Amino acid sequence: MESIVVEGLVKKFGDFTAVNGVSFSVGEGELFGFLGPNGAGKTTTINILTTLLKPTAGKATVAGYDVSTHPHQVRKRVGLVPQELTVDDDLTGMENLMLQAGLYHIPRSEARRRALELLDLVGLREFADKRVETYSGGMRKRLDLIAGLMHEPEVLFLDEPTLGLDVATRAAIWDYIRRLRKETGTTVFLTTHYMDEADNLCDRIAIIDRGVIKAIDTGEGLKARLGGDIIELELVENGLDVVRLLEGVEGIRRVYVDGGVYRLTVERGDKMLPHVLEVLIQRGVAVKRVSMKRPSLDEVFLEFTGRKLREESGSWEDTFRRRMVLRRMRA
Amino acid sequence: MREILGEIGVLTMREIRKWLRSPFLMFFTLVQPVIWMGLFGKAFNITGFIRIPDEMLQNLPPYVTSQLAEIFNNMMTRLFGTADIDYFSYIAVGMLSITILFSSMSSGMGIAWDRRLGFLNKLLAAPIWRGSIIVSKVLSGVLRAVMQAALLLLVALAFGARFHVLFPLGPLAAFGALFFLALGLTSLFIALGLRLKSWESQAAVMNLLNLPLMFASNALYPIALMPSWLQAVAQANPISYAVDAVRQSLIYGAAADPSKLLLDLGAVAVFAISFTAIGVLIADKGLRGG
């Protein structure tokens, strides 16, 4: 059974179209990611799927219920971890979880049992009775994550789960997300603007840009669509007409020159590399440096959207929020 | 229904815990009324102006003194409700209602922070009655305001405010009036906090309301001393009725007027009920997604 089914979803704010006819579906137990820059429509989509916003057009079913006609049924079955840290600084970790449990009408003894179990899972048990204001950014995010799981939701929504965290903490959060998902079997829908996050965590990735889905596939599948590997070359002497020479070689699909670096897209890098070098040496072209790499999702994003994935300037409110999240993370 | 009471319970507990754990905030909400109390109550001793120095009275024949006493007592009663009153006690009691005003405002700001920090979204994504969010905010706001007023009452006592409680139910009537005032004002400011989403416009509106509401009331000085247009405003201000109710029941003693007290209580109750109803309606609209 599908956990999320979305058909032709549109959301307009006045003249601005945030989500423009998005369709996809997510299977039960799948970890599905929305990858795109800020302002691509990721959070708007999450807000519609968690019943915070009403869609302008289209249909969305989550955990078997239509978000527009049965919002209460949907709310009972989904968990939301917003991108802002929503745990309360003035309460302890345990009190935060018990508050969450109260909102989902879980009996106290049952709630306590679950809270301890989840705290164990993310290594926070010994901090359960400490106030959250004493937690680090990573600890707060972990608490926020398990707060979203207190009522054992069928679908968990994570909006930018590692925004503003340092590299080591991010890797740790990924571990916890994998573990929580393994233990609970929950379907996870996450949004991110980090390539490595999508690549590391998600079973399938939807690339979204300006409210439109450009591609949906596994990370590997998306990379395979680019076709092959990339060979980078630097020459001892520039200015030779190497481009035409290389383009003539069978097996090389494309040649880009970027600041003295030649980037060749080839089908099988391991086989093509010796061949390319042989051709160059035969023509007396001296090679200074050579390297080969598999394409990353960065290249994939560039390929599908025609632009690099980078921070876009948002509204003032957006910037403020982001800064506030960052500040709280560092605290 | 049990579920809804549970939701309201946990959300109210959250607010109360937050409040009790930030003594700093509690302290600062108290500081401002205490400053007003000290500044006006002790420095501008208005009742002192109307008194006649003792040595002057001693040099006058007894019948003149008694006539003078009558004139001045009349003036005092007309202005302050009773002749036997000092300005500090008068203003200290007024400040109880002002602390309710400030405290209600900070409750209104609280919901704006919940929205900003994303906490409100988490609540809205939960399977709870939307009204629970508002009811718990109002409930905790009222509780906080009334407790704050009780604290201030103790401070006033410590600084020498004189109380003359005539009715056995005086304290109850006083806190009843303060409760109604808190209910109406908290609902009003929470509704404002939800409707005015931008931080700046909210601060602007709150600042616009806060001082005029305080000065255009009988909290600091008698309405009878005001120009007639201001009297009209002060008479429409619910704070005036709460202040008068507290004065009637706590400091006027034998001069207290039971029918006036009942009228005051009725007026603040009507204010509370109508503003709570309006507030909940407005807030409910503000919580619904677009």
Nearest residue of A to residue B199, measured between CA atoms:
A317
Nearest residue of B to residue A87, measured between CA atoms:
B119
Nearest residue of A to residue B114, measured between CA atoms:
A86
A15 touches chain B (CB under 8 A): no
Q: How far is B290 from chain A, CA to nearest CA, in Å?
A: 6
Cβ contact, residue pair A90, B125, below 8 Å: no
With beta carbons under 8 A apart, name residues in chain B contacting A99: 10-11, 13-14
Q: Please name the residue ranges forming H helices in chain A.
A: 42-49, 71-77, 93-103, 108-121, 137-147, 167-184, 195-201, 219-226, 242-247, 269-282, 297-305, 316-330
Q: How far is A155 from chain B, CA to nearest CA, in Å?
A: 13
Q: How far is A46 from chain B, CA to nearest CA, in Å?
A: 11
Question: Which one-letter DSSP state was computed for residue A131?
Answer: B
Q: Which of A75, A82, A104 is closest, CB to CB, to B118?
A: A82
Cβ contact, residue pair A105, B6, below 8 Å: yes
Cβ contact, residue pair B289, A50, below 8 Å: no
pLDDT of residue A325: 59
Q: Which of B7, B119, B127 is closest, CB to CB, to A72?
A: B127
Q: Which helix (H) or strand (E) holds A58?
A: strand A57-62
From A219-223, A257-261, B5-9, the region with the lowest mean pLDDT: A257-261
Cβ contact, residue pair B116, A104, below 8 Å: no
Average pLDDT value for chain B: 83
Q: How far is A32 from chain B, CA to nearest CA, in Å?
A: 20
Cβ contact, residue pair B18, A47, below 8 Å: no
Which of A216-220, A263-267, B27-31: highest mean pLDDT? Answer: A216-220
d(CA B283, CA B134): 7
Cβ contact, residue pair A88, B6, below 8 Å: no
A75 touches chain B (CB under 8 A): yes
On the question of pLDDT at A311 being above 50, the answer is no
CATH homologous superfamily for the domain A2-223: P-loop containing nucleotide triphosphate hydrolases (3.40.50.300)
Question: For residue A281, what pLDDT band results from cuts at 50, 70 and 90?
Answer: confident
Which pTM does this prediction carry?
0.79
Of A67, A58, A17, A8, the residue nearest A41 (C-alpha) = A17
A160: its two tokens: 């930018």
Q: How far is A18 from chain B, CA to nearest CA, in Å?
A: 13
Cβ–Cβ < 8 Å for A174, A201: yes
From A274-288, A291-305, B217-231, the region with the lowest mean pLDDT: A291-305
Cβ contact, residue pair A102, B6, below 8 Å: yes
Q: How far is B130 from chain A, CA to nearest CA, in Å?
A: 11
Cβ contact, residue pair A90, B22, below 8 Å: yes
Could you report the per-residue pLDDT of B192-213, keeping only the tens digit for each?
A: 888 877 777 888 888 888 888 8
For residues A269 and A143, the model is more confident at A143
Average pLDDT value for chain A: 86
d(CA A227, CA B132): 55
Beta bridge partners of A22: A9
Could you report the per-residue pLDDT of B231-263, keeping only the tens digit for each?
A: 888 888 999 999 999 988 888 877 778 888 889
A2-223 and A228-294, same CATH topology: no
Q: How far is A291 from chain B, CA to nearest CA, in Å?
A: 46
d(CA A171, CA A249): 41
Q: In sequence order, which residues have a C-beta less than 8 Å from that of residue A10 and are 6 or more positions away?
A: A17, A19, A20, A21, A22, A55, A56, A57, A58
Instruction: Match domain A228-294 to its CATH number in 2.40.420.20, 3.30.70.100, 3.50.50.60, 3.40.50.880.
Output: 3.30.70.100
Cβ contact, residue pair A103, B10, below 8 Å: yes
**What count of Cα atoms within 13 Å lies in the side-chain half-sphere of residue B33?**
29
Question: For residue A244, what pLDDT band results from cuts at 50, 70 and 90?
Answer: confident
Once rounded to an integer, what is the mean pLDDT over residues B138-149? 90
Could you report the per-residue pLDDT of A59-107, keeping only the tens digit for each?
A: 999 999 999 999 999 999 999 999 888 899 899 999 999 999 999 999 9
Q: Which helix (H) or strand (E) holds B258?
A: helix B258-287
User: Which residues of A, range 90-149, sit inside 8 Å of B by Cβ?
Assistant: 90-91, 95, 98-99, 102-105, 131
Using beta carbons and an 8 Å cutoff, which residues of B are at the interface with A? 3, 6-7, 9-11, 13-14, 17-18, 21-22, 116-119, 121-128, 289-290
Domain spans of chain A, in order of start: 2-223, 228-294
Cβ–Cβ < 8 Å for A177, A212: no
